[in-house]
Structure 1
Amino acid sequence: MPSPSSAPSSSSSSSRRPYVIGAGVAVAAALLGFASYTATKPADRAPDSAPAASAEASTPPGAGVYPELEAYARRDAGDPLATGRADAPVVMIEYADFRCGYCGKFARDTEPELIRRYVEKGVLRIEWRNLPIFGEESERAARAAWAAGRQGRFWEFHRAAYAEGAKEQGFSTERVTALAREAGVADLDRFARDLDGAAARDAVAADQRQGERLGAASTPSFLVNGRPIAGAQPLETFTQTIDAAAAAAKKSGPAAGR
Structure 2
Amino acid sequence: MILTLALLAPLATASAPSRAVAVEPVAPVTAADRVLGRADAPVTVIEYASFSCHHCADWHNMVFPLFKQRLIDTGQVRYVFRDLPTNPPELSGPAAALARCAAPGKFFDVASVLMHGQSAVLNGGDQQDWYAPAITASGRTKPQIDACIALPATRAAIQRDIQTAVDAGVTGTPAFFVNGRLVADRSLGGLEVAVRAAAAAR
C-alpha contact (below 8 Å) 1:131/1:219 kept by paired residues: yes
Partner in structure 2 of residue 248 of structure 1? 201
C-alpha contact (below 8 Å) 1:95/1:128 kept by paired residues: yes
The alignment's TM-score, normalised by the length of structure 1, stands at 0.63
SS at match of 2:25: helix
Out of 14, 34, 42, the position equivalent to 1:89 is 42
The alpha-carbon deviation at position 180 of structure 1 amounts to 2.6
Unaligned ranges ≥5, structure 2: 1-20
C-alpha contact (below 8 Å) 1:110/1:235 kept by paired residues: yes
Out of 74, 80, 93, the position equivalent to 2:29 is 74
State the Cα deviation string for residues 132-158 of structure 1 (Å, max 9, x = none): 02123211111111112x443110111
The alpha-carbon deviation at position 123 of structure 1 amounts to 1.0
The alpha-carbon deviation at position 122 of structure 1 amounts to 1.1
Within a 5 Å distance, the mapping from 1:203-242 to structure 2 comes to 203-230=157-184, 233-242=186-195
Counterparts of 1:177 and 1:226, CA distance in 2: 33
Partner in structure 2 of residue 115 of structure 1? 68
Identity value in percent: 31
Q: Which of the pair has the greater relative contact order for Cα pairs under 8 Å at 6+ separation?
A: 2
* Structure ranking higher in helix proportion: 1
Give the 3 Å change call, closer, same or farther, for CA 170–141 of structure 1 in structure 2.
Answer: farther
Counterpart code for 2:25: L
Counterparts of 1:145 and 1:248, CA distance in 2: 34
Counterparts of 1:171 and 1:151, CA distance in 2: 27
State the Cα deviation string for residues 112-142 of structure 1 (Å, max 9, x = none): 1111111111110111110002123211111
C-alpha contact (below 8 Å) 2:95/2:131 kept by paired residues: no
SS at match of 1:126: strand
The alignment's TM-score, normalised by the length of structure 2, stands at 0.79
C-alpha contact (below 8 Å) 2:135/2:141 kept by paired residues: no
Unaligned ranges ≥5, structure 1: 1-24, 30-67, 250-258
Once superposed, what is the RMSD of the aligned Cα atoms?
Answer: 2.4
Counterparts of 1:197 and 1:205, CA distance in 2: 13
Give the 3 Å change call, closer, same or farther, for CA 101–147 of structure 1 in structure 2.
Answer: same
Count of residues in Structure 1 that have an aligned counterpart in Structure 2:
179
C-alpha contact (below 8 Å) 2:84/2:173 kept by paired residues: yes
Partner in structure 2 of residue 139 of structure 1? 93
Within a 5 Å distance, the mapping from 1:1-258 to structure 2 comes to 26=22, 29=23, 69=25, 72-74=27-29, 76=31, 81-134=34-87, 135-148=89-102, 150-163=103-116, 165-168=119-122, 172=127, 174-175=128-129, 177-230=131-184, 233-249=186-202
Give the 3 Å change call, closer, same or farther, for CA 244–110 of structure 1 in structure 2.
Answer: same
The alpha-carbon deviation at position 87 of structure 1 amounts to 1.6
